[in-house]
Amino acid sequence: MSGEQNSAVGEQVSPDSANATHADKATKAVKPNKASKPVGAAGTGKPARPAGKASGTGKAAGAGKAAGTTGRTSGTTGKGKAGKSRGAGGAKGDEATPKKTVKPWKPESRLAMVRRARRINRELAEVYPYAHPELDFRNPFELLVATVLSAQTTDLRVNQTTPALFARYPTPEDMAAAAPEELEEIIRPTGFFRAKSRSLLGLSAALRDEFDGRVPGRLEDLVRLPGVGRKTANVVLGNAFGVPGITVDTHFGRLVRRWKWTEQEDPEKVEAEICEIFPKSEWTMLSHRVVFHGRRICHSRKPACGACPIAPLCPAYGEGETDPEKAKKLLKYEMGGYPGQRLAPPPDYPGRPAAPLGTGDE
């Protein structure tokens, strides 16, 4: 997770209702073709086909029109011809899958954008049913501290640092009484350790003196704490208190602009505009799904467009690698078979836990 300052493969779709229809065709798995009725079967009144042609009108998976057959390719958008196919999933004989033809993105109405945005959210929910905050924590205080430490570094580095930190200072009272140089030495691996140490000492003292040693569950109270802004507050509220909120970090802001949900750059304005698109009940999980997608597939410099499950819904398709095999090599974390950010991930996480600090695998 980034700090307060910083913190999709197929044809493009056309505006309005055409977006959802095209997305359904391009993103859903192709159902197996039903067996065709044999020509010349009893009751059809049709003569059997002459020798040299395949019996029936079969649909061949991954092949175009074979000699003497009339079939469509599985996963294609049109009829195969002489071993050729069009669209997603088509193949030319035994050759590799050809690159897909991308249509230019066209302007869309506000209603069409909202429908497309909500469709993306539903698709991401299927891709990342296990989406979660990628900071290790056991209570609101640990999540608050970990989120402050995550500024300008990775969640993994924070997760490798906080076990020793919370073993030494488990409560706000303990941390408020810490010697600055000792606290700085423990959190040094996260970078900017002097400024972060001041924030942790300040927020811990405020929790001790103003909130009886407890993390408040209101946005207006949280943002009063040293080093805590709206992003950090929404992380804590959404994941420790169950209060819905949009977390606008670097990944979230980059993707919602790439998807043309907003053109805003200021995090608060981004948050306000995205809140208008989605129901409140979706805000927290939407944040996790978008951040997961940004970290795993839709990277900043070279997104893996050829391996993206929501590519048909993305106006920016083609900014990254569109070749499916090359795109697969760009996938990160569990998508690429590697550990995630957490040392202690949720039970339903499909990947491997990250390595502790000092093991040489971090």
Helix (H, G, I), strand (E, B) or coil at 84: strand
First-to-last CA distance in the chain?
Answer: 16
- Residue 255's CB is within 10 A of a number of other CB atoms, namely 22
Q: At what angle do helices 180-187 and 155-168 cross, to 10 degrees?
A: 140
CA contacts within 13 A on the Cβ side of 1: 28
Amino acid identity, position 308: C
Handedness of CA 75, 78, 84, 85 (dihedral sign): negative
CA contacts within 13 A on the Cβ side of 240: 26
CA distances from 239 to 115, 141, 299, 300, 320 (A): 27, 12, 25, 26, 32
- Nearby residues of 58 by Cβ (< 8 Å), 6 or more positions away: 33, 35, 36, 69, 71
As a dihedral over the C-alpha atoms of residue 329, residue 333, residue 334, residue 335, rounded to 10 degrees, the angle is -30
Residue 72 backbone dihedrals phi, psi, to 5 degrees: -110, 150
Which residues participate in catalysis according to the annotation? 231, 249
